[in-house]
Amino acid sequence: MSDKLQKVLANAGTGSRREMERWIEAGRISVNGKLATLGDRVEPADKIRVDGNALNKSNDTPACRVLMYNKPEGELCSRKDPEGRATVFDRLPVIKNGRWIAVGRLDINTSGLLLFTNDGELANRLMHPSHEVEREYAVRVFGEVEDKMLKRLTKGVQLEDGEAKFTNIVKRPGDEESTNTWFNVSLSEGRNREVRRLWESQGVQVSRLMRVRYGTLELQKRLPQGGWVELGLPDLNTLRESVQLPAETETLIKIDPGKLDHVKISRMRRSVKKHRVRQANNKRD
């Protein structure tokens, strides 16, 4: 009946498995009064504490929820920043059971689709390389791009942390004489700054980068930057089934979240603007 400690923590909504592994290594987790170590397994009766606080292991598993967020450039993928910079968690809705877990990361200069969930197992599977969940990015590169370069990028190039490649590259229509060229690229893993490093390995620089798809989900075109929508059961279950998880049967959504009308969009934009003004005032203070 024992389970890996990081799995139990993730299932309780504390964070993703990877994040929990880092917490264990940092000495933030104890089991039955003893400091936990990576590789520990726990029984249902074991007493787990996180930062000294007892872990709530309620048998009432909350309904799986997923948010789609349109990340602006300039926001950090961390819960708090010592320098007071904006983070992707600042404007997320309050959650009663567990907490929001970011599915992967986008660096501070990358915008676009970022998913959040309260389900640690779903987050882990979506991020784990074994499930090969494809990510797609719109990228603008500065420099001359030749066909042989694109072939190398899809065949595989050696980076400092191993071989990497794009699964697909599509050039977008544009000014043929411009030194900036837009491409849509896809890959099936999420190493740190992988898209940028792949292009830089060929001597060109990335000047804009935006994630437009994660697995089966495409970024809603009308979703303002800094805005979020919660997925309804059809999209949620398509995502769960893509990583071999059973379908969810409950939802907290009372209306179709997929329809972004002018009223919703205007409300989101006003909310984002107010938040940015408050942040700017706090920095001045």
Query: Over the stretch 4-29, which tens digit does the pLDDT of each residue have?
Result: 999 888 888 788 888 899 999 999 99
Both 106 and 74 in one domain: the answer is: yes
Rounded Cα gap, residues 83 and 243, in angstroms: 37
Both 146 and 206 in one domain: the answer is: yes
Look at residue 60 and tell me if it is in a domain: no
The predicted pLDDT at position 68 comes to 96
Q: Tell me the mean pLDDT in the region 163-183.
A: 86
Domains in the chain, number? 3
Q: Tell me the mean pLDDT in the region 43-63.
A: 81
Left, alpha or beta for 82 (phi > 0: left; psi -120 to 50: alpha)?
A: alpha
The predicted pLDDT at position 192 comes to 87
The predicted pLDDT at position 40 comes to 94
Look at residue 10 and tell me if it is in a domain: yes
Using the predicted structure, report yes or no on whether residue 259 has a pLDDT greater than 80: no
Give residue 238's domain range. 66-129+217-278
Both 194 and 253 in one domain: the answer is: no
Mean pLDDT of all residues belonging to the chain = 88
Both 151 and 273 in one domain: the answer is: no
Look at residue 61 and tell me if it is in a domain: no
The predicted pLDDT at position 271 comes to 80
Among 214, 232, 261, the domain-final residue is: 214
In this structure, are residues 232 and 258 in contact, taking their beta carbons and an 8 Å threshold?
yes
Residue 186 identity (one-letter amino acid): S
User: Residue 44 is part of a domain; what is its CATH number?
Assistant: 3.10.290.10
Span of 43-47, 154-158, 165-169 with lowest mean pLDDT: 43-47
Rounded Cα gap, residues 132 and 243, in angstroms: 9
Both 75 and 202 in one domain: the answer is: no
Query: Over the stretch 202-235, which tens digit does the pLDDT of each residue have?
Result: 999 999 999 999 999 999 988 999 999 999 999 9
Both 178 and 244 in one domain: the answer is: no
Query: Over the stretch 97-133, which tens digit does the pLDDT of each residue have?
Result: 778 999 989 999 999 999 999 988 899 899 988 898 9
Both 156 and 273 in one domain: the answer is: no
Residue 70 identity (one-letter amino acid): N
Both 169 and 240 in one domain: the answer is: no
State both tokens at 5.
Answer: 């400690």
Rounded Cα gap, residues 252 and 200, in angstroms: 44
Active site members: 107
Put simply, whether the predicted model's pTM sits higher than 0.85 gets the answer: no
CB contact set of 29 (below 8 Å; sequence gap of 6+): 5, 9, 20, 23, 35, 36, 48, 49, 50
Look at residue 180 and tell me if it is in a domain: yes
The predicted pLDDT at position 274 comes to 77
